[in-house]
Chain A
Amino acid sequence: MVSTKVTLCGIEMDNPLIPASGTFGFGYEFAEIYDINCLGTFSFKGTTKDPRFGNPTPRIAECDAGMINAVGLQNPGVDRVLSEELPKLKKCFHKPVMANVSGFSVEDYAYTVEKLDAEDQIGWFEVNVSCPNVHGGGMSFGTSPEAAAEVTRACRKVTKKPLLIKLSPNVTDIVSIAKACEDAGADGISMINTMLGMRIDLKTKRPVIANKMGGFSGPAIKPVALRMVYQVYDAVKIPIVGMGGISTAEDVIEMMLAGATAVQVGAANLVDPYVCKDIIEKLPEVMQKYGINDLKDIIGGAHNG
């Protein structure tokens, strides 16, 4: 019997599978088609202080081996997340959930984290300093070590729950940003958010996406994600939640070997709504194939020797 259990910032998970924020709503859409309690956990839709409609459409463009999105953090705002979304989530998911939070100022981030902190079901915070689709916020906090550290410190002050900072790959040195977050009190690093990308329509000769640019995700970015997780694992002591192009059990193992304690699945959920359940069911078989008895043993395994 193999073990798929992992422990992320002190909370044990049945397996390392986490549907990524923005691809899984507040869970209940997926609970209609399978029991989502098989998941390690999931990261709910990025929540901000105020309600947001997001960007104009088109917000989606297809690419070879991936997609671009420029949704722009559409969400009903923290008050309605608390009063409407989380009660619905609670009915279909009974494990600690990961709360994804975004903001447009340091105060915004802290405000939203503080409001959500009282919610018992929230196990971890995943603070997004890396959304490429909003102006004057999101990614601008994740592109310098100082700004990322400032957000981390502000959130640290208002919660004792595990605090993960979700980093952008659209930077020159992700390692220094990860270290700055660790020094500022983060309990973990979540990486990578989408890569800034673009498609142009040959018929209209204009960008496909109304916002012109958007976040590129899917299997095409997996090698970049693996490389960055590998680099950050060498530099920090706190755990890493790895993501970027994960869509199979083999991908999960590869990401853990690079240094991830848990693994998120994003774009793949949008193409195959059962993908996380399928990966979880397939994981023991693939572990056996590669001689892995305990998934915990392989975290960072690629760094050995």
Chain B
Amino acid sequence: MKQGIFEITENRMIAKNTYLMVLKGDVSDITASGQFINIKLDGFFLRRPISVCDVNADSVTIIYKVVGKGTEVMAKMSAGERLDVLTGLGNGYDLSKSGDRPVLLGGGAGVPPMYMLCRLLIEEGKKPSVILGFNTKDEVFFEEEFKTLGADVTVTTADGSYGLKGFVTDAMKQMEYTYFYTCGPEPMLKAIDKTATTSGQLSFEERMGCGFGACMGCSCKTKYGNKRICKDGPVLEREEIIW
């Protein structure tokens, strides 16, 4: 974990209520896809945990959905503004178990972490398939970006207004894969667990206090003992989860 002051270099809407922000600063502690950063905002007591979409030598990209007052404030910020950010939080995805053809499933605000994961897998010579699930056409983002990485991309919408009508699991059923990685709302994770035919890793969300393992605010029980979503997670292995 590192605390640093980051400068916003980009902050723009990319879909309905969905924004992409690029933050420039010391990103040396971001070591895995699936990790998150924790942002301090003026006027709010707790930080805002947001998953890492991608990272390069000197900046981190996040994609966030406006869901409350904190993210509303973030959406109004401009390039040049500075933010106090904790980086390098969470365990992240373990790429070593992917096999040659993993499937990556992202639902809504769970899509962003799939991007860095997808990039890393392709860099390792793997052939990932990506399934992106949204409620409706207005919310769809990053389809092109995943294609540009070289992934095979399927988009699903619950109302059928774009791509395949249905849920990510409907697309998953028609696929062959060696392993799965996912991030999204808990009902989606549960459905994937019921559908999947292989092992996999699932990233969970929970209301957090600190985000770095000190407060025990986001504990959960697993078959491998009690875990803190923020520190021992957010990524858990399918085999350890108690639904």
Count A-B contacts at CB 8 Å. 90
A47 CB, min distance to chain B CBs, angstroms: 13
A34 CB, min distance to chain B CBs, angstroms: 10
- Contact of A232 with B by CB under 8 A: no
- Contact of A253 with B by CB under 8 A: no
Selected from A30, A67, A271, the residue in CB contact (under 8 A) with B40 is A271
Stretch from B12-20, B111-119, B211-219 at the A interface: B211-219
> Roughly how many angstroms separate A58 CA and B215 CA in the complex, as a whole number?
13
Q: How would you classify the secondary structure of chain A's contact residues: helix, strand, loop or mixed? A: loop
A60 touching B208, Cβ below 8 Å: yes
Selected from B3, B45, B206, B210, the residue in CB contact (under 8 A) with A58 is B206
B207 touching A61, Cβ below 8 Å: yes
- Contact of A63 with B by CB under 8 A: yes
B138 CB, min distance to chain A CBs, angstroms: 20
> Roughly how many angstroms separate A62 CA and B45 CA in the complex, as a whole number?
7
- Contact of A33 with B by CB under 8 A: yes
Which A-chain residue is minimally distant from B206 (CB atoms)?
A: A57
Task: Name A56-93 residues within 8 Å CB distance of B.
Answer: 57-67, 69, 71, 74
Which A-chain residue is minimally distant from B47 (CB atoms)?
A: A271
B219 touching A63, Cβ below 8 Å: no
A85 CB, min distance to chain B CBs, angstroms: 13
Flag B208-243 by CB within 8 Å of A: 1 or 0 each: 111011111111110000100001000000000000
What are 28 residue pairs bridging A and B, where the CB atoms are less than 8 Å apart in the complex? Answer: A24-B214, A29-B212, A29-B213, A33-B1, A33-B2, A45-B216, A53-B221, A53-B226, A58-B207, A59-B217, A60-B208, A60-B215, A61-B207, A62-B44, A63-B45, A65-B45, A67-B45, A69-B217, A71-B219, A74-B216, A267-B45, A269-B214, A270-B46, A270-B209, A271-B40, A271-B45, A271-B46, A274-B3
> Roughly how many angstroms separate A53 CA and B86 CA in the complex, as a whole number?
27
Selected from A23, A58, A65, A218, the residue in CB contact (under 8 A) with B214 is A23
* Interface size bracket, A side: 35 or more
A270 touching B221, Cβ below 8 Å: no
B69 CB, min distance to chain A CBs, angstroms: 10
A59 touching B218, Cβ below 8 Å: yes
A274 — which chain B residues lie within 8 A by C-beta? 3
Which A-chain residue is minimally distant from B226 (CB atoms)?
A: A53
> Roughly how many angstroms separate A25 CA and B218 CA in the complex, as a whole number?
14
A182 CB, min distance to chain B CBs, angstroms: 31
Selected from B206, B214, B219, the residue in CB contact (under 8 A) with A270 is B214
B208 — which chain A residues lie within 8 A by C-beta? 60
> Roughly how many angstroms separate A59 CA and B210 CA in the complex, as a whole number?
12
Selected from A25, A61, A65, the residue in CB contact (under 8 A) with B213 is A25
> Roughly how many angstroms separate A274 CA and B220 CA in the complex, as a whole number?
26
A271 touching B210, Cβ below 8 Å: yes
Task: Name B165-222 residues within 8 Å CB distance of A.
Answer: 206-210, 212-221
Selected from A57, A65, A218, A273, the residue in CB contact (under 8 A) with B218 is A57
A60 — which chain B residues lie within 8 A by C-beta? 46, 207-209, 215, 217-218
> Roughly how many angstroms separate A65 CA and B3 CA in the complex, as a whole number?
21
B46 touching A62, Cβ below 8 Å: yes
Q: Decide yes or no: A32 and B45 within 8 Å by CB, A23-B214, A57-B219, A271-B40 being known contacts.
A: no
B185 CB, min distance to chain A CBs, angstroms: 14
B210 — which chain A residues lie within 8 A by C-beta? 23, 269-271, 273
Which B-chain residue is minimally distant from A55 (CB atoms)?
A: B219
Selected from A23, A24, A62, A273, the residue in CB contact (under 8 A) with B3 is A273
> Roughly how many angstroms separate A273 CA and B46 CA in the complex, as a whole number?
12
> Roughly how many angstroms separate A57 CA and B215 CA in the complex, as a whole number?
13
B178 CB, min distance to chain A CBs, angstroms: 33
A71 — which chain B residues lie within 8 A by C-beta? 215-217, 219
